[in-house]
Amino acid sequence: MLGRLGSFLRAARRRREFEESMAEEVQFHIEAYTDDLVRSGMPPEEAARRARMELGSVDSVKADCRESRGLAALDALVQDLHYALRLLRKNPAFTATALTTLAVCLGANLTIFAVVDSVLLRPLPFPAADRLVRVFNTYPKAGVLDDGMSIANYYGRRGHIAAFSSVAGIRERTAVVGETGSTEREPVAQVSPEFFSTVGLAPVMGRAFTDEETTYQTDGVVVVTDAYWRQHLGADPHVIGRTIRVDGFTKAVVGVLPPEFTFLSSRARLFFPLASSLEQRLPGQRHSGSGAQMIARLRPGTTLAEAQSEVDGHNAVREADDSLGKRMAEAGFRTLVVPLQADHVSKVRPTLLLLQAGVLFLLLIGAVNVANLLLIRAGDRLKEFAVRQALGASRPQVIREVVTETTVLTLLGGLLGLAVGAAGIRLLGVLGAEHLPLGARIVFDARVALAALAGAVVLGLAIAAPIAWYSLRTHATGALHEGGRGGTAGRAATRLRHGFLVAQMALAFVLLSGAGLLALSLERVMALSPGFRPQNILTGQITLPWKTYDKPSARLAFTQRLLDELAHQPGLRAVGVSTNVPLSGRNGMSAATVKGYVVPPEGSLHGHYSYGVGGEYFEALGFALREGRFLGAADSGSAQRVCVVDEDFARHYFPGRSAVGQRLFPGSKEGTDAEAFTIVGVVGPVKQAGLTEDGGPGAVYYPYVYRADNDEIFVVTRTSVAPESLVPSLRSVVRALDPDLPITDIRSMEGRIADSVIVRRSPAVLAALFSAIAVFLTAVGTYGVLSYAVARRRREIGLRMALGARPEQVRGQFLSLALRLLAAGTVLGVLGAWLTGQAMRAILFQVPPVHVATLATAAAIIGVVSLAACLLPSHRAARISPMEALAEE
Amino acid sequence: MPKTAELLPGTLDMLILKAVSLRPLHGYGVLLRIRQISGDALDIPQGSLYPALYRLEHQALIAAEWGQSDNNRRAKYYTLTAAGRRRLRDETEGWNRLASAIATALGTAPEEV
């Protein structure tokens, strides 16, 4: 089979060579035979004639030879292609319009498909990636939906859940990497020893971690990615054993990962053991969230449901023995098992699918335009088709020709669309596509290109269907009779064209109203207050490595020196530090226990945001003070344990009472009086997880020194000049204090807010772009159909005007046709918009799925644009001169 | 001229393979060789010779190469490939079985039934 295909391809490629060699061979035969005949005594002329006669027609022998080689079908195809290309060349205006439309529509589809493919469809780069799951603790009634895993969970579940062939933990963080003077803050990850074997990609050089390397004393080892190995270690083949300085410690390289290794959206290039203390591993620490996530590999043949029920059983046994078990049950504690990839992209899935649907609508609109143009042209060629059918052209032949023509057109459009798509993917980069989960792997590769071209072929076949139907419906006799206006087929074609136009208006309407809903949602989100004054705030992140800053006092001392230095910088009005800032993307919560508070029946513990703040944090961000006072510099040093809570917290625990003077304990248990923090102030709530966060879980602000166990801090400064202008001085102050401390992620607060809505803004921008194109295409479509209607009825109009019809009547006739089509399109459009609104519910914010003003605006835009598009044709109709129109035939 | 027999359908390919198996031949040579080895009893229609050769080449049963003819002209020579050799053997066996079965059948006398 392959051999035959090869022979066919070789012959097709070297067609000329094939023809020449065949001719030479046949010629040789004739001459050799002639020679033999002459030798046997025949006169030369007679011999030549005889030789030719016995061979038969040279042409038919050649044709039979070609057929033997499978070239006949190729010849027919080549002929059809020539014909199709000639038609396209003959009508440059038509071809340019159709190709531009197809290129834009197919390119837009390719762009969105590239995203859908890489985020939703393409499996993770691991063997049997569909068996990878994430396992996380959830406490929904406490407002904590995802608490990952605790270290104790990892040691408790490891080897104890038969449904999992392995479980592993990963914690992503940042670290200061490099030698003194040239340090950089790098995203890194800490992983348990079986992490690499769980995902199924072991280091290609060296080894993974061992159990012995999971304590704080023995974790001086690192596995690097292929990219890090090439960029920072010179692709050294003897890299194993070399050392890297991380947070001031020396780490020995023990392994290098394969190039394809990427874990979800993690940018980590260095992997360390997930080290822990023996205390952290005790069963009593099961609910102490560690910031780590658990992944597991399902044993072959095990289902997700089986794994879930086994995990539930595993939990039930342990909760029964736990003193905190009742509290946790009240909080709705469960451990969920979810598919790794689907879970990772679940938030963007509806948005991406909607965008894909929207852009498919756009393609339909474009396809309708092309089909209408082709229908018009097929109408002009009815006579030709009829003549050819009368001369014996078979139906399959006509169909083949139409299909070849439309497919050539859509394929050419698809090829141009590849360029549009490549540009579109660039545009997505500008719109922040890499912020999407798995967004970093969005590529324009052969797979996407092939999908686009396959789509183009399907589109070609789809467009061919109505054209072929129309061309064949024409009865030979009907079309031959009259001046090209085949009776019933003509009416059917008109109905088809009008139907197409109505569908097009409806689709454009749906796209417009969908884009309107997204834009309105974005506007409403942007109008929300973050709870602080975001103008003129510059923030940056610093990682304080354990080696140099091992004690809270050392960290506190650093922050105080930093605050002192910054206080002297010109342009800075207020300076603070904090363990977290609003909209940073870190939304971890921890429990707090209010002294004397009794959890009501059916109630539960609550998770809260917990910050350690120093300096003038509240003043720098511009918090609203509701009661009492802010925390001040003195609170970190004093023996008095004080804290500030926000209004959400106060309302939850002290409804109708003052929170000031009340006492609380960090964690889920009451402690001794000496451990209690006294609330000294209540501040307004700020949005932590996102602008749309509503009735947040409440927050507790402790003096930095009590929360200094985190190695990352944010610097927050309120500036009196443009925040960006102070970036260099912020950088140099930090470097002057400690040359090993890079400050990164320096951004204005307004920038952080803008980034936090990127998952809303980018789809809204894309939808607006798509609907603008859709409206334009609809205008082109309306103009085309109306112009054709006018041209077709030229004679009739001329006759009517000759009989006394006024130009306004003629104009009105076409405007009323346009209005009727518009009305039908709008009705269908409203119906479609209603359905679309329902489908969009999940991604709308404070906008009802049916928003009357949006529908009215969409209707107005479509109405104005399509009526404008039909003004010119109807005007032309009104100016038809009866004499000329009637004289034409 | 001796009497020539009609060619049975499907036998042309077999004859070409046989002819080519003896030594490399050009198209006209195949024609002559079939005539010669069949004792001038088989004459193949010249019009179907070349399509058959192209078909066999397409099926990779024979291979073609340009060479010099006896009178120093350029000619396309066909040789048998390994696959062609196998096919020829199979077809020969099949043909012999068929021929002997038909001969036996036709040679049956009334008393043997």
Task: Say whether A25 and B76 touch across the interface (CB within 8 A).
Answer: yes
Give the separation between CA A341 and CA A140, rounded to whole angstroms.
22
- The DSSP-derived string for A697-722 is --EEEEEGGGGTTSSEEEEEEEESS-
What is the radius of gyration, based on Cα positions, of chain B?
A: 17
Cα of A442 to nearest chain B Cα, Å: 44
**Which pair of structure tokens corresponds to residue A79?**
């002929």
Phi, psi of A675 (to 5 degrees): -90, -5
Task: Please give the pLDDT value at position A482.
Answer: 47
DSSP 8-state class, residue A282:
S
Q: Which chain B residue has the Cα nearest residue A50?
A: B46
CA distances (Å), origin A123, targets A127, A128, A330, A433, A777: 9, 9, 38, 19, 36
Nearest chain A residue to B67, by CA: A25
Per-residue pLDDT at A347 = 87
Instruction: Say whether B58 and A24 touch across the interface (CB within 8 A).
Output: no
Which residues, given as ranges, of chain A have pLDDT below 70?
Answer: 1-14, 70-74, 392-393, 474-489, 888-889
In the predicted model, is pLDDT for residue B102 greater than 80? yes
The count of other CB atoms within 10 Å of the CB of residue A826 is 21
Euclidean distance between the first and the last CA atom of chain A, given in angstroms as a whole number = 59
End-to-end Cα spacing for chain B? 41
Q: Which residues of B are less than 8 Å from A7 in CB distance?
A: 57-58, 60
CA closest to B63 among chain A residues: A7
Q: Spell out which residues of chain A touch residue B45, defining contact as CB-CB under 8 Å.
A: 56
In angstroms, the CA A403 to CA A463 distance is 8
Locate the DSSP E strands across A248-359: 249-256, 270-273, 293-298, 334-339
The residue assigned the tokens 């609907």 is A771
Q: Using the 8-state DSSP alphabet, how is residue A117 labeled?
A: I
**C-alpha span between A747 and A749 (Å, rounded):** 6
Asked if A304 and A339 count as a contact pair (C-beta separation under 8 A), the reply is: yes
- How are beta strands A642-646 and A677-683 bridged, if at all? parallel
Q: Give the pLDDT band (50/70/90) at residue B112.
A: low
Q: What pLDDT shows up at residue A55?
A: 82
pLDDT of residue A522: 92
Candidates A1, A18, A25, A57, partner chain B, best to mutate (most B CBs within 10 A): A25
Task: For residue A614, list its beta bridge partners.
Answer: A577
Q: Distance (Å, rounded) from C-alpha A631 to C-alpha A500?
A: 67
**Nearest residue of chain B to residue A31 (CA atoms):** B28
B58, A60: Cβ pair inside 8 Å? no
Looking at residue B7, its pLDDT comes to 66
* pLDDT tens digits for range A323-382: 778 888 888 999 999 999 999 999 889 999 999 999 999 999 999 999 988 888 887 777
Instruction: Count how many residues are written for chain A.
Output: 889
DSSP state at residue B9:
T
DSSP states of A138-164 as a string? EBGGGTB----B-HHHHHHHTTT-TTE
Angle at the Cα of A545 from the Cα atoms of A544 and A550, rounded to 5 degrees: 95
Instruction: Say what the pLDDT of residue A137 is.
Output: 95
| CA-closest candidate to residue A712, choices A745, A748, A751 | A745
**Nearest residue in B to A67, CA atom:** B51
Q: Rounded to a whole number, what is the largest CA-CA distance in chain A? A: 133
CB-CB under 8 Å, B28 with A65: no
Task: From chain B, pick out residues whose CB is under 8 angstroms from the CB of A8.
Answer: 58
Q: Tell me the chain A residues in contact with residue B36 when contact means C-beta distances shorter than 8 Å.
A: none
Chain B residues lying within 8 Å of A24, measured CB to CB = 74, 76
Nearest to A308 by CA among A163, A502, A112: A163
What does the alpha-carbon distance between residue A503 and residue A463 come to, in Å, rounded to a whole number?
A: 15
Contacts of A501 (CB under 8 A, 6+ apart): A368, A372, A781, A782, A785, A821, A825
In whole angstroms, give the CA distance from residue A443 to residue A435.
14
**Cα of B95 to nearest chain A Cα, Å:** 24
pTM: 0.76
Query: Which residues of chain B are at the A interface, by a Cβ-Cβ cutoff of 8 Å?
Result: 26-28, 45-48, 50-52, 54-55, 57-60, 66, 69, 71, 73-76
A587, A689 contact by CB (below 8 A): yes
Distance in Å, alpha carbon of A394 to nearest chain B alpha carbon: 27
Say if the Cβ atoms of A21 and B58 lie within 8 Å: no
- Binding-face residues of A in 36-75 toward B, CB within 8 A: 54-57, 60-61, 64-65, 67-70
Helix (H, G, I), strand (E, B) or coil at A881: coil
- A623 burial (CB, 10 Å; 0-12 / 13-18 / 19+) is buried
pLDDT of residue A485: 47
Distance between CA atoms of residues A342 and A438, nearest Å: 11
Paired sense of beta strands A642-646 and A699-703, if any: antiparallel
Is A56–B51 a contact, with Cβ atoms under 8 angstroms apart?
A: no
Both tokens of residue A821? 């089509």
- The reported pLDDT for the residue numbered A539 is 95
Beta pairing class for A590-594 and A249-256: unpaired
The whole-number pLDDT of residue A775 equals 94
Kindly report, residue by residue over A684-718, the tens digit of the pLDDT.
999 998 898 887 789 999 999 888 877 789 999 99
Instruction: Tell me how far apart the alpha carbons of residues A255 and A226 are, in angstroms, rounded to a whole number.
Output: 10
Question: Is there a contact between A64 and B26 if contact means CB atoms under 8 Å apart?
Answer: no
pLDDT of residue A697: 86
Q: Are A446 and A384 in contact (CB under 8 A)?
A: no
Structure tokens at A492: 């059917």
